[in-house]
Amino acid sequence: MIRRFTVLLLGLSIIPLVALGQAPPKRIVPAIRVKPGVPTKRIRSLPAKGAITAPARIPRPVIAPDGNGTPPAVRKVRIPAKPKTPQEKLHAALTAVKFDRTPDGILNALDELTKKAKPQKDKAKTAVERFRRLANAGRWDELGEHIQSLPFDGSAEKAYRHLVASLLRAPATGTSASRPLNSAPPIPGGSKVTSLPAGKPRPMLTQEDFVEILKLSPNEPIETDVAALGNLLRGVGQANLSRLAKQLETGIGQFGGDQPDGRKRVAQLLQPLADKSQAEIALKFVPDSDEDWVLEMRADLLHKLWSGQPSPPNLSAAWRANEKLIATIEDDAKRLDGIKRGFTLVAKLPKTKANEWMSKQFREGGPGLKLIQLVQSDVQRNVRSANFSARGENLRSLKQIIDALLDESSSNLAKWKLPLTIAAEAWLVEAENTAKYYRATVTRSNMTVYNPVYEQQRIMAQQNSSRYKPIAPALVIEHAPGADWLAALPESRRTRVMAALAETLLKNRKIVEALDEIERLAKLDPISAKRITNILLGGWAQSRNPNGGAKPSMPTVGMSVYIPPRPSGTPLTRAKQKRNLRELGQILERLTKLPIDPPEPRTIVAAFEGAHSFAEVYKPDDIRSVFGKPEKMPVESLATLVNSMRQRLATSWRAPQIQQQAGTKRGEPQIKAEVLAGYDTLLELINAGLKAKPDVWQLKLQQAAANFDLAEYQYGNKAELEVYVKHREAAFEGFSEAAALYTLQTSVTADKPSVLVFQLWFNANLGASDLSY
């Protein structure tokens, strides 16, 4: 046994010696990389249970010093000092009370007050809890006694001010949570309290509750107390100000009565809620003196009264009070507010008096420049506001201010050039917003058939109109810069104003006025003028469309296509068509005289189409009156026109349903005659164009497709075989020539390749020039 063990040890010791003469073996690398194990760390023993006094502090990172070697100063977070004295502790607890005047909160408080309170060692906590319960339950007499019984100086005032500031604040927990009703200062006009989200009750307060709270006011209410009480009164809902005013005449606590301070507090309390005719209620508490607050409040209330009852006596009283404010008050900001208020009144005064007042603002030392600043700032800040009347009023004030400036300083406008430019920029903000996003309200009532593409476009347009909130084009046009204002602007701003005005006129469908503006713009900015010209032709087609916005309704599968013959009749739209075509010809004649490139051919053809009823075939005389002689028409215009005619001849013009929809009263024979006449006109146009330009493959292609469509139409109407064969042979011969011309032209030019010629030729071999027919 010992011998075997010795041999084994000897063998194991020889193996490394033998391996020294061999190449070292390759290290085997595992396919998956194994992360080495993490050495275990010793776990510190936990301290004793009583030794844990505070959470462990996280070490703060060391901040490197700056270039000078001085470490940067560390900002210290200010932590409010903890109350130390019993008085401070009580006041802190009082201001931390959260009221709950919802129905649940009121009923809970009433239930708690019926139960006997458990004695507590902390008297301050007991006082604060009773303060909360009495306020929630609406036991105002007991609440007043309790507040007055608080032990320290200033405790009663502290509790009352927290009560009026937080009573109607929605509770943070429970049934509702909302923005505090008193978080904003009183809103002029007496707005209603913002309602809470659906399903969550809002805090309750009656007018009788409000009167009782007024009785609890401290001896010297301050302005913040009055503002908070105003919000409480707004929280009542529809407050009866007349009844409240009668009670205040006799006096409620520190409000009303015969004392001047009490009446002043009433006036300050009622002013934000006294809107329009109710302003007369608050006016009774405003004394007849020259104090600043009296002048400001009287001018404001009389202006509100005139807004609600715009009679001459009210206008005169509001004007006198406002003029006295402007002349007497020392506060410059309040004087400017008075001048701004004067702009709304001066529009109703006699013209001579109004002009004199406006001019006075721009004399030496006047506030005219400040007025421009204020109004243009309002315009730009409120461009997305839903208050359209206020935005329109801002534009009116801006135009009125600039007109007064031009009248007063017409001989020396150089120093006013920059303010005039800034004012024009403010007008442009509204004008360009309207020009880009305004869409007239469209309903589906005038859509005879549902078109998903058109419907999606309509919805998107109206969504954009709602999102960007453009004002009505008529309002922008009414207050647009005049000739004198435009002349004082730099050329870059003048062209923008003219372009925006032209586009806004088109939004308002003022075609002739827009064309006049385009003619003036073309001399300064031909590129913008051409762009707006294309918009003009599209807008003209929409405004003059004799179909009234209706779309042709083509028959679908399964729909009957036969209508019994009816006596032929002249549609009511024919006379309107003639007027439209005459007007379109005049517009195009004026556009050709401008120093700009001609409008896009597709735009002109679309306007020509829009002038027609969708059931009427184009007449040769009408085509010549708008486009001139066919042989002199540009190739692209002629090709676009004949392609439109060919498609309509193959679809809508031959459909009995379209004729019935348009009210033409044509039967099958009359429809057939109209279609054949349309094909004659179409081929005549193409032949005239090819005679002048025989190498244009687009015209040759349209000629071939028209011959094929005519052949198929004649075949369907059982025409003579030789007539059918004549047009069919001409069609395939034309396709071959068009393909040869296309191949030849594209081989020597850089024109973009097109498959149209081969596609129509292939379709014709399948039996139709367009597979969509």
pLDDT tens per residue across span 746-766: 776 666 788 888 998 988 888
Q: Is the dihedral of CA 6, 12, 18, 20 positive or negative?
A: negative
| 161 found inside a domain | yes
| 137 found inside a domain | yes
How far apart (Å, rounded) are the C-alpha atoms in residues 617 and 651?
Answer: 12
The residue with greater pLDDT, 749 or 214, is 214
| Helix intervals (H) in 651-667 | 656-662
| 294 found inside a domain | no
Contact between residue 584 and residue 608 where contact means Cβ atoms under 8 Å apart: yes
pLDDT at 551: 53
Tokens of 251: 């006096």
How far apart (Å, rounded) are the C-alpha atoms in residues 372 and 399?
Answer: 10
Radius of gyration of the CA atoms of the chain, in A: 43
Position 736 pLDDT exceeds 90: yes
- Residue count of the chain, please give it: 773
Tokens 């007050």 locate to 113
How far apart (Å, rounded) are the C-alpha atoms in residues 17 and 662?
Answer: 111
| 144 found inside a domain | yes
Position 565 pLDDT exceeds 80: no
Least confident of 81-90, 204-213, 516-525, 670-679: 81-90
Tokens 């403010």 locate to 426
Q: What is the mean pLDDT of the chain?
A: 79
| 185 found inside a domain | yes
Domain count of the fold of the chain: 1
What is the pLDDT averaged over residues 521-543? Answer: 90
Confidence of residue 44 (pLDDT cuts 50, 70, 90): very low
Question: How large is the greatest C-alpha to C-alpha distance in the chain, in angstroms?
Answer: 139
| 93 found inside a domain | yes
Q: Virtual CA dihedral for 372, 375, 378, 382, nearest 10 degrees?
A: -110
| 648 found inside a domain | no
pLDDT at 735: 92
Tokens 């806004």 locate to 504
Position 185 pLDDT exceeds 50: no
pLDDT at 550: 52
DSSP 279-320: HHHHHTTS-SS--HHHHHHHHHHHHHHHHHS--HHHHHHHHH
Tokens of 708: 């094929």
Please, which residues bridge with residue 252 across strands?
255
What is the pLDDT averaged over residues 488-514? Answer: 93
Instruction: Report the number of secondary-structure helices (H) and strands (E) in the chain.
Output: 33, 0
pLDDT at 752: 74
| 266 found inside a domain | no
What is the pLDDT averaged over residues 698-720? Answer: 89
Range of the domain at 172: 85-239
